[in-house]
Amino acid sequence: MRTFPILLVIFVFVAACKKKNSQVDPQNQCLTPTEVKIQHISGQDVSFELIGTDSASIGKVAWTIISDEKTVQIETDSKTKVTQNFSKSGEFRVTVVVETVCNKTVTLTRTENIKIESYTRQWITDIGQFQDSIDFHLTESVNGGCIAAINGWYSKQIISLNANGQLLWKKSLDWQDSRYTVSILTAGDGGYILGTNSNAKRYGLLKISNTGEKIWEKEFYGVPNSSMMFPQDNLRKVISASDGGYILAGTSNTRVGNNKSSPPKNSNSNDTNTAYDIWIVKVDAQGNKQWDKTIGGSDAEYINNITVTPDGGYLLNCVSNSKISLDKTEDVEGDYDRWLVKINKSGDIEWDRIQPADTYSQMIVLADGSIIIEKQSYPTGVGYRKLNSSGRKIWEKEVEGSDATLLQSDQGGFIMFGNLGANNLIKFTSNGEVQERKTINLGEGQLRPWSPPIKSTSGGFYGFLYSANNQSIFYVK
């Protein structure tokens, strides 16, 4: 029997396999890394990943990772991704030296600012009893702490805390007309803007310094209708505009004149006290009016919330009793329904959508323009619905709980914070999948559901607590 040809074939095949396993062809099979990627995963975990390669092409890898917290130096074999634990946000710098099986050495570097969303309580500060308080409003301060505006029946206070929760100053707002604050936000020059209402039922805008001193004050209102018993322009919220000015949003039943140039939409505006429209006023950084828009159908509308959208426009969360008419293009499904209105940066309507009556006023807009909005979910759940950038439903889901605040996550998803079953914080991906559950120890205090927490630029958030004896402000990061 002649076996020589068969043995020769086997020898050639084995030799070829050995060559392939021991020496990768650089032109055809060795994938050299082209960059290194830094990404926050969840909690305190940050990943460092080689891009443009695979583990078969990698030999030894030397990682040097430098952050504000620590320096990490490790070596790995055939590994394109490592994960390390960090507790502090800040600048992350990585240098990686890669030896490939093609006998090449590649050095890659990258620097990224990463916000660690570990969500642990940093401090709780008692701010007093405030037994006559109506509501509380918060914003992040210019010194890294927070500013609280507190409305009481007999007193109005502004309280400033530094980044460690220590009291910097406290000021009383001695308004003669029972004015109260509906919004507080940081001004671009280091001061603060307060949106106010008064017994005179006019939109108010107050600018104070970073030490609480009054700088200027403005009012915006229309002409009262003499046939109405209660004419009013009722400010609901003030937000920072996309160009450095401010947007004032509220409801109005007054007519053109004074500061109002956009006429009523409601068909009953001449003879009923409940003929409310949505009135939007745009001002510059000095509080000078640039434009105003009245939005509504032929019946009553009220606004509950407004937020900036990634394209520089604004999303309005309203309640409407109008059928299809004027600005309303979708019919009411009940006596009152949730009405979302998207306007551009000039106040012109781009689209409007009716939402089911179980929709709440809380909402956030993600970086791609999609919308997360809270909804009722009986009997033991907290619901949330995702809409696309045109206001059409993508999905809706729920988790166990009774109430929660929606907050934006720096990693592209969103957060719920509140009474969520066994936890008080749940982190979600942008697709609504639960990514992390936590219980943050807030001591004996209870959350104030009518004064929801606010997100900080550090990646954490501030909020109010109350108990039988006092009020507190907490900071979580």
Distance of CA 110 to the CA centre of its chain: 27
Average pLDDT score over residue span 202-218: 93
- Please tell me the total number of residues recorded for the chain in this structure: 477
Region for 357 from its dihedrals, namely left if φ exceeds 0, alpha if ψ lies in -120 to 50, beta otherwise: alpha
Q: Is the pLDDT of residue 73 over 90?
A: yes
Q: Which residues fall within 8 angstroms of residue 451, CB to CB, at 6 or more apart?
A: 135, 136, 137, 138, 463, 464
Per the DSSP assignment, residues forming a β-bridge with 49 are 37, 81
Is it true that the peptide bond before 379 is cis, omega within 30 degrees of 0? yes
Which is more confidently placed, 117 or 185? 185
What pLDDT sits at residue 153?
A: 67
- Give the model's confidence band at 108: pLDDT under 50 very low, under 70 low, under 90 confident, else very high: very high
Region 456-473: what's the mean pLDDT? Answer: 85
Q: Give 14 or 425, the one with higher predicted confidence.
A: 425
Distance, in Å, from the CA atom of 164 to the CA atom of 122, rounded to the nearest integer, reads 8
**Is the whole model's pTM more than 0.85, yes or no?**
no
Q: What pLDDT is recorded for position 4?
A: 42
CB 67 within 8 A of CB 92: yes
Contacts 24+ apart (CB under 8 A), 150-155: 150/471, 151/180, 151/181
Q: Which tokens belong to 116?
A: 């660690």
Region 271-290 average pLDDT:
88
CATH fold of 121-359+445-476: Neuraminidase (2.120.10)
pLDDT of residue 307 exceeding 90: yes
* Residue 133 pLDDT level (bands cut at 50, 70, 90): low
Task: Please compute the mean of the pLDDT values over residues 90-101 and round it to a whole number.
Answer: 92
Higher pLDDT, 353 or 376: 353
Residue 374: pLDDT over 80:
yes
Question: Which residue did the predictor score with more confidence, 13 or 97?
Answer: 97
Gap between the Cα atoms of 418 and 423, Å rounded: 8
pLDDT at 38: 93
Sign of CA dihedral 432, 437, 442, 443: positive
Q: What is the mean pLDDT of residues 176-180?
A: 70
What is the residue-wise DSSP string for 355-408?
E-TTEEEEEEE-TTS-EEEEEEETTTEEEEEEE-TTS-EEEEEEEE-SEEEEEE
DSSP state of 447: E
Judge whether residue 29 has pLDDT over 50. yes
pLDDT tier for residue 154 given thresholds of 50, 70 and 90: low
CA angle 310-316-318, nearest 5°? 160
Superfamily name with CATH number, domain 35-114? Immunoglobulins (2.60.40.10)
pLDDT at 16: 38
Q: Angle CA(131)–CA(133)–CA(136) in degrees, nearest 5?
A: 135
With 0-12 / 13-18 / 19 or more C-beta atoms within 10 angstroms meaning exposed / middle / buried, residue 36 is buried
pLDDT tops 50 at residue 11: no
Residue 443: band (very low, low, confident or very high) from pLDDT cuts 50, 70, 90: confident
Kindly indicate the confidence band of residue 69, based on its pLDDT and cuts at 50, 70 and 90: confident
pLDDT band, very low/low/confident/very high, at 376 (cuts 50, 70, 90) = confident
Least confident of 23-27, 157-161, 337-341, 463-467: 23-27
What's the rounded mean pLDDT across residues 123-139? 80
Query: Rounded mean pLDDT of 256-269?
Result: 87
Lowest mean pLDDT among 3-17, 132-146, 162-176, 339-353: 3-17
pLDDT of 188 higher than 60: yes
Mean pLDDT, the chain, rounded, equals: 86
Mean pLDDT to the nearest integer, 331-354: 91
